[in-house]
Amino acid sequence: MAKTSTKLIIAAALLATAGCAKKRPPVLPPEPVGNGPVQSGGETGGPVQTGVVPGSREDFLRSVSSDTVHFGLDIYDIDSEARAILDTQAQWLQRYPNVRVTVEGHCDERGTREYNLALGDRRANAAKNYLAARGIDAARISTISYGKERPAALGSDEGSWAQNRRAVTVTLQ
């Protein structure tokens, strides 16, 4: 009797796991042909489409000099290099007045969690205030601080720390 019930339990378990087996996906569509510009309009000489939607995140990244400004140790002031980057972002944002952005503040791994969250907040707000001073409606710009929680570079050296002290502008779609 015990052997029969054991066999039934094993058979039921095998059937249950067989039903969970991964099935082969249907035939996938072919890969897109080419990643470069695509002519539209044919012989009519219509406009050239690059595949990047104007006002999109891809357009932002392609159009601005960078989405990231870097800071020195324990600093949240906007220096000349950061101003140049934020100026290109402000120009793009003026072209697309309906696009909202979030400025993320980040820090390196040194310091307490609380200190780095506060410093990341000051960095994000410094970038936001600069964009607002360049004519971008402050209501379109939100800020968030990640402190040291989302490093761009892993490592405990000056090069890694310098990459992690930053404010990143992210477009919202």
Tell me phi and psi for residue 115, to 5 degrees. Answer: -60, -45
Q: Is residue 117 part of a domain?
A: yes
pLDDT tens digits, one per residue of 14-68: 666 655 555 555 555 555 544 444 444 444 454 555 588 999 999 999 999 999 9
Q: Is residue 102 part of a domain?
A: yes
Q: Is residue 24 part of a domain?
A: no
Q: Is residue 11 part of a domain?
A: no
Q: Is residue 45 part of a domain?
A: no
Distance CA 167, CA 70 (A): 7
**Contact in structure between 144 and 28 (CB atoms under 8 Å):** no
> Which residue range(s) make up the domain with 155?
54-172
**Domain holding 167: CATH number?**
3.30.1330.60
Q: Please count the structural domains in the chain.
A: 1
Q: Is residue 12 part of a domain?
A: no
Q: Is residue 90 part of a domain?
A: yes
Residue count of the chain? 173
Q: Is residue 101 part of a domain?
A: yes
pLDDT tens digits, one per residue of 69-126: 999 999 999 999 999 999 999 999 999 999 999 999 999 999 999 999 999 999 999 9
